[in-house]
Structure 1
Amino acid sequence: MENSSIPRKELETFATESYKIPLFDVQHYPVDSSYFIIQNRETYPVKDYISPHRRKFYKIFHMTSGTGILTVGLHRYEMGRNEIGFLHPDEIVSWQTTSKETGGHFCLIHPDFFGRDAEHVLQWLKQFPYFLPDKAVVQLQEDQSAAINGYFATMLREAQSDSDDSKQAIMLQLQLLLLESQRAGKNRIQTEVQESYGHIYKFLSLLESSFQVRDRNALTKLKTAAEFADELHVHPNYLNSLVKKHTGKTVRDHIQERLLHEAKSLLVHTDWGINEISDGLGFSGQAAFTSFFKKKENISPLAFRKTISNARIS
Structure 2
Amino acid sequence: MDASMIPRMELEKFAHDEYKVPLLNLEHYPLDSKYFVIQNRDNYPVKDYISPHRRKFYKIFHMTAGTGVLIIGLHRYEMGPNEIAFLHPDEIMAWQTTSEETGGHFCLIHPAYFEHDADHVLHLLRQYPYFKPANCVVRLNEAQSANINGNFEVMLNEDRGDNVDKKQAILLQLQMMLLEAQRAGRTRPEKTVSEGYGYIYRFLSLLESAFKVQQRDSIVKLKTAAEFADQLHVHPNYLNSLVKSHTGKTLREHIQDRLLYEAKSLLVQTDWDISEISDGLGFSGQAAFTSFFRKKANLSPSVFRKSTLAPANI
Q: TM-score, normalised by structure 1?
A: 0.91
Q: 1:248 to 1:206 in 2, by over 3 A?
A: same
Number of the residue aligned with 1:152: 152
1:19·1:194 contact (CA, 8 Å) conserved in 2? no
Number of the residue aligned with 1:113: 113
Q: Which amino acid aligns with 1:115?
A: E
Q: Deviations over 1:103-151 (max 9, x none)?
A: 1111100011122111111111111110011110001011000000011
Number of the residue aligned with 2:195: 195
Number of the residue aligned with 1:238: 238
Number of the residue aligned with 2:142: 142
2:268·2:311 contact (CA, 8 Å) conserved in 1? no
Within a 5 Å distance, the mapping from 1:1-314 to structure 2 comes to 19-20=15-16, 21=19, 22-23=21-22, 24-309=24-309
1:48·1:97 contact (CA, 8 Å) conserved in 2? yes
Q: 1:119 to 1:57 in 2, by over 3 A?
A: same
Q: Take 1:28 and 1:244, find their aligned partners in 2: how far apart are those partners?
A: 18
Shift of 1:286: 0.5
Shift of 1:18: 8.7
- Ranges in structure 2 where 5+ consecutive residues have no aligned partner: 1-11
Q: 1:17 to 1:164 in 2, by over 3 A?
A: closer
Shift of 1:306: 2.3
2:71·2:95 contact (CA, 8 Å) conserved in 1? yes
Q: Which amino acid aligns with 1:215?
A: Q
1:18·1:196 contact (CA, 8 Å) conserved in 2? no
Q: 1:57 to 1:293 in 2, by over 3 A?
A: same
Q: Take 1:141 and 1:70, find their aligned partners in 2: how far apart are those partners?
A: 20
2:138·2:188 contact (CA, 8 Å) conserved in 1? yes
Q: Which amino acid aligns with 2:121?
A: V
| Partner secondary structure for residue 196 of structure 1 | helix
- Ranges in structure 1 where 5+ consecutive residues have no aligned partner: 1-15
Q: Take 1:310 and 1:30, find their aligned partners in 2: how far apart are those partners?
A: 14
Q: Deviations over 1:213-263 (max 9, x none)?
A: 122222112221111111112222221121111111111111111001111
Q: Take 1:310 and 1:123, find their aligned partners in 2: how far apart are those partners?
A: 28
| Partner secondary structure for residue 186 of structure 1 | coil
Q: Take 2:301 and 2:171, find their aligned partners in 1: how far apart are those partners?
A: 37
Q: Take 1:80 and 1:309, find their aligned partners in 2: how far apart are those partners?
A: 37
Number of the residue aligned with 1:6: none
Q: Take 1:31 and 1:259, find their aligned partners in 2: how far apart are those partners?
A: 14
Q: Take 1:68 and 1:310, find their aligned partners in 2: how far apart are those partners?
A: 36
| Partner secondary structure for residue 25 of structure 1 | coil
Q: Take 1:164 and 1:215, find their aligned partners in 2: how far apart are those partners?
A: 35
Shift of 1:154: 1.0
Q: Take 1:17 and 1:238, find their aligned partners in 2: how far apart are those partners?
A: 19
Q: Which amino acid aligns with 1:201?
A: Y
| Partner secondary structure for residue 77 of structure 1 | strand
Q: Which amino acid aligns with 1:74?
A: L
| Partner secondary structure for residue 305 of structure 1 | helix
Q: 1:127 to 1:312 in 2, by over 3 A?
A: closer
Q: Which amino acid aligns with 1:224?
A: T
Q: Which amino acid aligns with 1:259?
A: L
| Partner secondary structure for residue 118 of structure 2 | helix
Q: Take 1:219 and 1:311, find their aligned partners in 2: how far apart are those partners?
A: 21
Q: Deviations over 1:267-295 (max 9, x none)?
A: 12222211111111010100000111112
Q: TM-score, normalised by structure 2?
A: 0.91
1:61·1:104 contact (CA, 8 Å) conserved in 2? yes
- How many residues of Structure 1 are paired with residues of Structure 2 in the alignment? 299
2:269·2:311 contact (CA, 8 Å) conserved in 1? no
Q: Take 2:210 and 2:121, find their aligned partners in 1: how far apart are those partners?
A: 32
Number of the residue aligned with 2:4: none
Q: Take 2:132 and 2:167, find their aligned partners in 1: how far apart are those partners?
A: 26
Q: Take 2:198 and 2:307, find their aligned partners in 1: how far apart are those partners?
A: 39
